[in-house]
C-alpha cells in the first residue's frame, strides 16, 4: 500500500498513519468512526477513519506535562 500524503505530527514527527500512541475514545459514525487519540508528545488528535483510510481532522498542541 502506498500513501500519497504522509503526514506526521508537527510537534514530534510521529507518523499519522502509524499506530496511535494512545486511543482516548472511539465513536462510530455513519461513514466509519471517529477516534480521539493522544500522540506520544501529548497532542490530542481527532482521527476520522473511513473506507479511504485514516486522516487527522483536528490536532491540539502538546499537553504541558
Looking at the Cβ atoms of 11 and 33, the one nearer to Zn ion is 11
Closest CA to 63 of 45, 46, 44, 35: 44
The C-alpha cell at 51 is 473506507
Task: Report phi then psi at 33, rounded to 5.
Answer: -155, 160
The C-alpha cell at 5 is 500524503
Q: Contact with Zn ion (CB under 5 A): which of 41, 44, 46, 48? A: 41
**For Zn ion, which stretch binds (CB under 5 A), given 23-31, 43-51, 53-61?**
43-51
- Under the criterion CB under 5 A, does residue 38 sit at the interface with Zn ion? no
Q: Contact with Zn ion (CB under 5 A): which of 16, 37, 43, 45? A: 43
Amino acid at each position: 500500500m502506498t500513501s500519497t500524503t504522509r503526514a506526521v505530527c508537527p510537534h514530534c514527527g510521529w507518523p499519522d498513519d502509524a499506530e496511535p500512541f494512545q486511543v482516548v475514545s472511539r465513536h462510530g459514525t455513519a461513514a466509519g468512526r471517529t477516534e480521539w487519540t493522544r500522540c506520544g508528545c501529548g497532542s490530542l488528535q481527532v482521527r476520522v477513519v473511513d473506507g479511504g483510510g485514516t486522516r487527522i481532522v483536528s490536532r491540539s498542541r502538546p499537553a504541558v506535562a
